[in-house]
């Protein structure tokens, strides 16, 4: 990273998917690597499956936690439509990582709206630098679907200039000891995804 560069990360999904934990891990990894870090979270209806977004910015000196549109190095989404909702934050050369899991909003389950059947095609058309994968399936194979957020984070980490040791220590700090081994495997599985 150059002396004055600030790296911006956007993580998004719906309430209950673990966006805030993933955000905490990114922030901790950046702090451990020696950077100034600012974070911002918006999760108004998170407990009811509402949209959640977390913004993390790190660099030598960061003055604001707010990611400006068109500047994020990476957008990590735990849900298809949430990736499209926050697409405007991505830098032109940025990476988008999307967990292919679809979470049906309340409006869809009530029959008021329809979930787009072409979500994957829209994502491919919108993002030329896209990693689209089933993080939930990988998490299930590892033993717990709840670690899909950390699998996704592992894939996100490939776009960030933070050392492996910082990621490992950040996960150790951020998760309960009984879930540490699972989360370390989940992170590595996402990082190894091609």
Architecture of the domain spanning 6-102+117-192: 3-Layer(aba) Sandwich (3.40)
Which pLDDT tens digit goes with each residue over 118-134?
989 999 999 999 999 99
Condensed to tens digits (0 to 9), the pLDDT of residues 52-104 reads 999 999 999 999 999 999 999 999 999 999 999 999 999 999 999 999 988 87
Handedness of CA 158, 2, 68, 70 (dihedral sign): negative
Q: How far apart are CA 111 and CA 19, in angstroms?
A: 27
Nearest alpha carbon to residue 74 among 62, 59, 90:
90
Share of the chain above pLDDT 90, in %: 80
The burial class, CB within 10 Å (0-12 / 13-18 / 19+), for 130 is middle
In this prediction, residue 48 carries a pLDDT of 63
Q: Could you tell me how far CA 2 lies from the centroid of its own chain?
A: 24
* Prediction pTM value: 0.92
**What are the angstrom distances between the C-alpha of 191 and each of 93, 159, 163, 177?**
20, 10, 12, 21
Structural domain spans, the chain: 6-102+117-192
């Amino acid at each position: 990273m150059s002396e004055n560069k600030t790296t911006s990360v956007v993580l998004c999904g719906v309430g209950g998917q673990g966006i805030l934990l993933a955000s905490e891990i990114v922030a901790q990894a950046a702090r451990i690597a020696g950077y100034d870090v600012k974070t911002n979270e918006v999760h108004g209806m998170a407990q009811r499956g509402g949209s959640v977004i977390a913004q993390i910015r790190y660099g030598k000196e960061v003055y604001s936690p707010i990611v400006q549109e068109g500047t994020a190095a990476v957008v990590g989404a735990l849900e298809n439509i949430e990736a499209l909702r926050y697409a405007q934050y991505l830098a032109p050369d940025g990476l988008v990582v999307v967990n292919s899991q679809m979470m049906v909003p309340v409006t869809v389950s009530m029959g008021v709206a329809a979930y787009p059947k072409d979500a994957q095609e829209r994502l491919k058309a919108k993002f030329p630098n896209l990693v689209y994968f089933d993080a939930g399936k990988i998490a299930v194979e590892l033993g717990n679907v709840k670690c899909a957020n950390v699998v996704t984070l592992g894939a996100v980490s490939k776009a960030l200039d933070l050392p492996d040791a910082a990621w490992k220590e950040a996960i150790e700090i951020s998760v309960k000891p009984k879930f540490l081994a699972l989360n370390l495997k989940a992170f590595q599985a996402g990082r190894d995804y091609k």
